[in-house]
Amino acid sequence: MTDQQLLWLLQLSDSNFPSGAFSHSFGFETYMYHEQIRDAKTFGDALVVYIQTQLTYTDGLACRIAYEQLEADRMEGLKRLNDTLFALCLAKETREGTRMMGERLWKLCRDIYGVDELDEIVQTTRSIHPTIVFAAVGRKIEASKRTTVLTYLFTAVQTMVQNAVRGIPLGQTDGQKLLVMAQPYLIHAASIIETLDEEEFGAAAVGLEIAQMQHERLPVRLFMS
């Protein structure tokens, strides 16, 4: 990896990168509300399963497929992938939240990285999934497919940890320790994603989906989803 690539990736994965992800717990707040997630231990356990399900079979695999579609210039396939990602979101808040994040990320990355490959998809479907924007940035700065996927996974996990620090709440040191705890799981997920068949794409974590649906009706909420 060149110095330039490293700096681009550090910026993209920085927790202050304004993608809007800090407003979304993606269902975790429901578990916090019911105190099923209440400390570093309970959060860490849930985070590991989140990495092994949602992040592996949906977001991470989508990032890999998007990278491959961009590489082969198959824009029709990329558009289908984007549609499929939104069709997979059964909870409205998660779907809308993802749409908002994707749009912000796209605008930002269009400005700073000059990513314009996705313009047509955004114009025709009016929505773009963040993982596809990530893949496009990875391609643009010529990061490898694996590095791009791993950066996406880390960024997603980092946001979840930051949100847990605010939401549960946890100490900042606990948050950093959780990120270290997650490292081997992220590396393993990146390897699994390389081997997955497209037939496996989108397998849901059933309980998490229900938590995402229930979030809409929580009486007190810190997060938008």
CB of 83 to other proteins, least distance (A): 5
Q: Which is nearer to other proteins, 206 or 220 (CB)?
A: 206
CB of 132 to other proteins, least distance (A): 15
- CA 120 to chain CA centroid, Å, is 22
Q: Which is nearer to other proteins, 80 or 166 (CB)?
A: 80
Q: Which is nearer to other proteins, 12 or 182 (CB)?
A: 182
Number of other CB atoms surrounding residue 137 within 10 Å: 25
* Closest by Cα among 119, 130, 138 to 75: 119
* 3-class state of residue 2 by DSSP: coil
Q: Which is nearer to other proteins, 145 or 215 (CB)?
A: 215
Say which amino acid occupies 193: I
CB of 37 to other proteins, least distance (A): 9
Q: Which two tokens stand for residue 66?
A: 């998007």
Rounded to whole angstroms, what are the CA distances from 156 to 27, 67, 119, 121, 182?
14, 17, 24, 23, 12
Rounded to whole angstroms, what are the CA distances from 213 to 95, 108, 158, 164?
11, 29, 23, 19
* Closest by Cα among 94, 85, 57 to 205: 57
- Positions that interact with other proteins (CB under 8 A): 31, 36, 45-46, 49-50, 52-53, 57, 80, 83-84, 86-88, 90-93, 95, 200-214, 216-217
- CA 83 to chain CA centroid, Å, is 16
CB of 2 to other proteins, least distance (A): 38
* Closest by Cα among 190, 187, 69, 63 to 132: 63
CB of 144 to other proteins, least distance (A): 28
Q: Which is nearer to other proteins, 129 or 145 (CB)?
A: 129
Q: Which is nearer to other proteins, 89 or 137 (CB)?
A: 89
CB of 90 to other proteins, least distance (A): 5
* Closest by Cα among 166, 109, 160, 105 to 130: 105
